[in-house]
Structure 1
């Protein structure tokens, strides 16, 4: 497994996130259009309030006499902040204009909220799909060291949270920045001292944010990582609930889980402590600032440098200068959380599979089925120097069967995993029909190899969907034929919904034998030239074992088959037995030959059947 080293700075993350938004360019552009309209209507409402208040103030003082002006005149002079010529007769028109703008304000506000929300939903969908597709292509090294709960957490919650925060933040940032600029211009035309005071309060809010956001981000990331660990632990434990309960280890598991959630609680409390401390400053600065602003405004009115209409306008407008700073401050924690989530997501995107098509790789067109291991050695990256397989060499002719025998940890499963290129050998090579399997396209290679695992892995859905997993374009008659070949047709036909029966997560609604036969039917439907079989009848009752064994024997006919043997009674008929011991091939031959040899295989056989060595 290779991992691309990438600095996860804010700039780097936004640069990688931006293409997902650009892919939704129409909604992306519409977002800015409605943001612009929202800004225009928002500011114009405040200017209209100033005009109306100015007319009322002049009328109270006995001024504002004369006829009404045109709507165009009123609008243009309102924007220019020149209301000296407005009269009392203009007041109904001003109120009418303001009412029309209010209606437009609500309409624009709806689209300004809905379109970004749809944009964010589409970006979330695209990122989840891309990450899911990427994860499917990673080698097993990644999944060996990564908890399933952590994968789920990053795929679902981290993407959702990250896109939501940065999608909304982008819109809010642009909206508030433009509003801030226009507000400064309008306020400056009324009172420069008041503008400077309000802006100074905003700067203090911004400084407060810059001091604490980096710490919030780090603590938030620690909380999210710990949550991923907890999620993975819970999934793993409840997935094996029978084992836990059968060993009566509930108290021990509760203690382990308690330790993890206690660590999470401590991290969360530390985050909340810092967030609360930051919040005190974020809330106190505006309160003190508003007191100073109102005090200066009152002084300027009493000294005749401001009118009441201007003071009211400045008081309403001050929110448009302080709000950007306040919102940025309040968003600080959310941005930190979103940044931490996206960092975790892009960590997965940066994982690189060591199993990939080599330059010049070709598709597998036709397979005869000759399988050969030549001096194959393998060790896991985390255990370099400790070989799982050591100089393994053997050959299986087309249409023949070979069974791996050995104690647990001897390397049986690893050997067949290498054939499908779930891993690549550390040294040596694996050949099919005389060609190194690394010369083939990975997908094409796996299309020609069928796998029936010891634990039949089925997915939630119907029986039909699970069998069709072997060949998605299969017809119904082909599915039914596969069921019959796998000795599964009788029990499926007895079900009320037949092949449309929903079998639950991991096939929980079926018995062990039924699950095995569905898995075998899936292999029949795929019709591979090479078959890997992890013998699994040892856990079944005698009737189920008979049906499964009969189906397996039918499946093996005409295929090159590699079997991972758990019970020697099931492999006496195979053409070749390969005995592994600590990753090395120590014996090779037929059942009769190895019994006669009176070596390791004969000892295994005697142990299972209760006979003396060599019997």
Structure 2
């Protein structure tokens, strides 16, 4: 088993990458903030409720201070009631106000973030499915799915919680420090003198712990990859009697996870011990110095109590900042990755169905004129070189050649999945560039070798060729495709769920579903991309009969591996290393003693 397969597993448990927060990154993500515009008033009201909730929270230590003073027989300095009960009543009233505004603050922020994120998700998905094929050739499906799930969820969490919590904690920090200074400047300076030690220790230990945690996550992901690959290839493991090898490999990986985890535990334990010592040491130090000031008559007991409560507020606010800042960093990184998609250039296709209807009909004449093509990801490799051929309306044109000759590339170019570098592709004598992209794809159907069905019902999969088709049209297409009988053999008939990618159906059944879908579309040009190459003899016979029905009266481009399926083609084009080597009928090409077609035929024992 190849060693590089260890890197193929998805590291689901790995943290989302963080981005540096600077002027450039904030300017880049400002585009996403425009999604808040439709809900700005609710956001502003929620923000005002956030301010009110934070400010009312700062009043409680002051009320406790007054309550203690009144309990000691001292009159209130702020015109408040002179009884403990009266001040307690005010405290509960403020608590009710805080609870009330907190409810609406959370409700409004969640509503704004959910709606804004739904808009971002919608636009990102719409953008993604209208991007050209070249975009998908360079990216994995898992990566793109992560953009819609993990990245947008991180942005959602930040909009819903992190930003609001950051604003709240900033208010609590500034307000708390202000009240600490008002109550006792000396005690505050003493308190702040301890702070740099804790901050520096937190930064040093925190960085080391994060690095070790990341290594542990990576190693655990590698271990999970071993499990995933072993179970996926369990038949190979057993066939080669390599159970012991795989078990040893997994055990070795787990031991590495344990070693890294223990190293991380050492750092976390040391950091926790240091913080506990510093935290309680700071509390004891403040209590000691505060008690000394009370003893000297420079501070009273109520002030010391209020000071301790405000210290808790300040400490809690400072303690939450590292996590909040890390979440914002992740959100910035996630925003940049989502914006990469939103800034990509799309194909000229609308997400509104009425804009994609056929505007210019194609009769079925197709021509390639001196076409040269290289894939965007491999521009240095010429896949098609000076390719020219014609297919008149209603003709069957077969394209054959060895693997890598460029057969399937021609199918992709007919559908305009890619732009050619040189030459022209013509429909009815008119350049493909002069047609709307939707006009071309609406009038071309493809039946591929590996049919991928959607996870819904058979009815829904056939109807994908014509979304507004009624059931009678769908059944007629299935009958023409030799699919009706096997469909009705299922208890649920056309309502049978095919499973993910159509796994509940055989290869021949999936092919006939694809043919029924193409029949329903009623295209002017049909592309058969090795549609029978992976089928058994009986399935091939049924599929071939369905294909004959499908090809009647329309231009058919048949990309074939089995040469027995193309003998009746009006024209056979033989590709070799991206160039046309031979053109003719089966009878003509089989007569060329040194011809490529004759050689391919002999390899398949098809010479007669």
TM interval, shorter chain, is 0.7 to 0.9
Matched, 1:601 2:597: yes
After TM superposition, the structure 1 stretch with the greater mean CA deviation from structure 2, 436-445 or 404-413, is 436-445
Question: Partner residue of 1:479?
Answer: 474
Distance in 2 (CA, whole Å) between partners of 1:168 and 1:223 is 28
| 2:484 maps to which of 486, 489, 503 | 489
Distance in 2 (CA, whole Å) between partners of 1:293 and 1:463 is 74
Structure 2 contact 358–442 (Cα < 8 Å) conserved = no
1:564-591 per-residue CA deviation (whole Å, 9 max, x = no partner) reads 1011111111211110111110011111
Question: Partner residue of 1:133?
Answer: 126
CA pair 161-277 structure 1, distance change in 2 beyond 3 A: farther
CA pair 147-179 structure 1, distance change in 2 beyond 3 A: same
Tell me the number of residue pairs that the alignment of Structure 1 and Structure 2 aligns.
580
Distance in 2 (CA, whole Å) between partners of 1:128 and 1:28 is 19
Distance in 2 (CA, whole Å) between partners of 1:190 and 1:587 is 95
1:597 CA displacement: 3.2
1:423-470 per-residue CA deviation (whole Å, 9 max, x = no partner) reads 222322212122222333333322221111111110111112212222
1:2-13 alignment, distance < 5 Å: 10-12=25-27
| 1:290 maps to which of 280, 283, 291 | 283
Distance in 1 (CA, whole Å) between partners of 2:455 and 2:510 is 12
1:580-599 alignment, distance < 5 Å: 580-598=575-593, 599=595
CA pair 275-605 structure 1, distance change in 2 beyond 3 A: farther
CA pair 184-242 structure 1, distance change in 2 beyond 3 A: closer
1:214-225 alignment, distance < 5 Å: none
Distance in 2 (CA, whole Å) between partners of 1:287 and 1:512 is 70
Question: Partner residue of 2:413?
Answer: 418
1:56 CA displacement: 0.6
1:24-69 per-residue CA deviation (whole Å, 9 max, x = no partner) reads 43542343133123213312333322221111122xxxx55xxxxx
Question: Partner residue of 1:430?
Answer: 425
After TM superposition, the structure 1 stretch with the greater mean CA deviation from structure 2, 191-200 or 149-158, is 191-200
CA pair 226-411 structure 1, distance change in 2 beyond 3 A: farther
Matched, 1:157 2:172: no
1:311-365 per-residue CA deviation (whole Å, 9 max, x = no partner) reads 1111111122232222112334444444444444444445546x668xxx99751
1:58-457 alignment, distance < 5 Å: 58=73, 64=75, 82-83=77-78, 87=82, 90-165=83-158, 167-198=160-191, 286-352=279-345, 365-457=360-452
TM-score relative to the length of structure 2: 0.82
CA pair 84-455 structure 1, distance change in 2 beyond 3 A: closer
Give the aligned CA root-mean-square deviation in angstroms: 4.0
1:17-28 alignment, distance < 5 Å: 17-28=32-43
CA pair 344-180 structure 1, distance change in 2 beyond 3 A: same
Structure 2 contact 411–529 (Cα < 8 Å) conserved = no
Question: Partner residue of 1:15?
Answer: 30
Structure 2 contact 367–425 (Cα < 8 Å) conserved = yes
Matched, 1:498 2:493: yes
Question: Partner residue of 1:52?
Answer: 67
1:411 CA displacement: 0.7
CA pair 486-167 structure 1, distance change in 2 beyond 3 A: same
Question: Partner residue of 2:44?
Answer: 29
After TM superposition, the structure 1 stretch with the greater mean CA deviation from structure 2, 481-490 or 403-412, is 481-490
CA pair 439-249 structure 1, distance change in 2 beyond 3 A: farther
Distance in 2 (CA, whole Å) between partners of 1:449 and 1:233 is 43
After TM superposition, the structure 1 stretch with the greater mean CA deviation from structure 2, 407-416 or 524-533, is 524-533
Structure 1 contact 402–578 (Cα < 8 Å) conserved = yes
Distance in 1 (CA, whole Å) between partners of 2:231 and 2:425 is 35
Question: Partner residue of 1:73?
Answer: none
1:592 CA displacement: 1.6
TM-score relative to the length of structure 1: 0.81
Structure 1 contact 531–559 (Cα < 8 Å) conserved = yes
- Aligned to 1:424, what secondary structure does the other structure show? coil
Distance in 2 (CA, whole Å) between partners of 1:277 and 1:23 is 49
- Aligned to 1:510, what secondary structure does the other structure show? coil
Structure 1 contact 460–503 (Cα < 8 Å) conserved = yes
Distance in 2 (CA, whole Å) between partners of 1:271 and 1:347 is 35
Distance in 1 (CA, whole Å) between partners of 2:251 and 2:320 is 37
1:386 CA displacement: 2.2
CA pair 227-439 structure 1, distance change in 2 beyond 3 A: farther
Question: Partner residue of 2:13?
Answer: none
Structure 1 contact 411–582 (Cα < 8 Å) conserved = yes
Structure 1 contact 478–525 (Cα < 8 Å) conserved = yes
Structure 1 contact 399–560 (Cα < 8 Å) conserved = yes
Distance in 2 (CA, whole Å) between partners of 1:139 and 1:380 is 12
1:607 CA displacement: 2.1
Structure 2 contact 360–435 (Cα < 8 Å) conserved = no
Structure 1 contact 198–321 (Cα < 8 Å) conserved = no
CA pair 13-483 structure 1, distance change in 2 beyond 3 A: same
Question: Partner residue of 2:510?
Answer: 515
CA pair 233-563 structure 1, distance change in 2 beyond 3 A: farther
Question: Partner residue of 1:529?
Answer: 524
After TM superposition, the structure 1 stretch with the greater mean CA deviation from structure 2, 280-289 or 119-128, is 280-289
CA pair 183-243 structure 1, distance change in 2 beyond 3 A: same
1:554 CA displacement: 0.9
